[in-house]
Amino acid sequence: MNGLGGLNKAPEGVVIGLVQLQLPVVKTPADLARQTERIVGLVGKARANMATMDLVVFPEYALHGLSMDTSPAIMCSLDGPEVAAFRQACIDNRIWGCFSIMELNPGGYPYNSGLIIDDQGEIKLYYRKFHPWVPVEPWEPGDIGIPVVTGPKGAKIALIICHDGMFPEMARECAYKGAEIMLRTAGYTAPMREAWRFTNQANAFCNLMVTASVCMSGSDGAFDSMGEGMVVNFDGSVIAHGTSGRPDEIITAEVRPDLVREARKYWAVENNIYQFGHRGLTAVAGGAGDCPYTYMTDLAAGRYRLPWEDEVVHKDGTAYGFDKPTRRYGERLPKAAE
């Protein structure tokens, strides 16, 4: 199935490279520029590393590190020099790339955004992280949905970011919109290792979808990221895994979106992404197509409330040094958060 990590590529195969990027320290615009150059260089390494590679994936925080600094001086924009450099790197190396930026937001805190750029330098996917890792992360919750795009060999690709993958609804939404490959980029540190592994597998199996996920790696002197580049097949089996955590190692695998399509078409038992909306189809014609889940109907009605809601201790980021927010979702600040 994996063709020695993509060395022996099948005609329908898509080869993915997951860069376990060394965790940087970025405090100034000059630091940001240097890190941009470093990422561009690693796009070139990915191409030299494997001529068959279709898509190179960089982790969340690849450009900014884990400082959580929201200073406008080091925030990015889609038309800024960092994204321009990434676009050119994809053109120069004839490769698709997935990149992470912290995006300036004049109406609030920055967005934690991800981009997929094709081998012609065009931005094909633009996503803002839905679920920041609260209360640790200060990023604005994403507001542009979860896009799915057509990538190499016609593969349908989605991108989620780090903590997003702990919510099964995220992977289900990607699959529901047609994704055959779901990328998950992250900056996670070692305490999350086991949860990272089993959620990557569950997200794949429960949705008959390939998951390809990667974290930052190494230490910045304060934090230790774990690498853990991981590709999981649609049946939940791990086909590549960077267990060494070696910084800048590129974990590669060939995946087969055509076999994802075949499984979604022909599987009966455990075709969960179909059966979710067709409960009991053996007993009832077409299955039950209702929504029997209270948490879904309550959320849609704006009345989501846990039985233990009043007992939850951390309801803002004050324990991690952030000011208690007063602005509601959808409201804008009169100026960008300092």
* Active site members: 60, 129, 162
Residue bearing tokens 């190494």: 218
Q: What is the rounded CA–CA span in Å between residue 115 and residue 112?
A: 11
Report which of 205, 321, 323 is spatially closest to residue 267, judged by C-alpha positions.
205
Q: What is the rounded CA–CA span in Å between residue 35 and residue 80?
A: 14
> Dihedral of CA 30/189/102/180: which sign?
positive
- Please report, to the nearest 10 degrees, the dihedral formed by the alpha carbons of residues 239, 244, 245, 248 taken in order: -80
Burial status of residue 167 (CB atoms within 10 A of its CB: 0-12, 13-18, 19 or more) = middle
Q: What is the rounded CA–CA span in Å between residue 300 and residue 123?
A: 31
Alpha carbon of 99 to those of 4, 45, 114, 129: distances in Å? 25, 15, 6, 13
Q: For the chain, how far is it from start to end, CA to CA, in angstroms?
A: 49
* Residue 321 zone, left/alpha/beta (φ > 0; ψ -120 to 50; rest): left
Report which of 140, 118, 132, 203 is spatially closest to residue 164, judged by C-alpha positions.
132
Are residues 57 and 17 in contact, defined by beta-carbon separation less than 8 angstroms? yes
Q: What is the rounded CA–CA span in Å between residue 151 and residue 124?
A: 8
Q: What is the rounded CA–CA span in Å between residue 17 and residue 172?
A: 24
Are residues 159 and 185 in contact, defined by beta-carbon separation less than 8 angstroms? yes
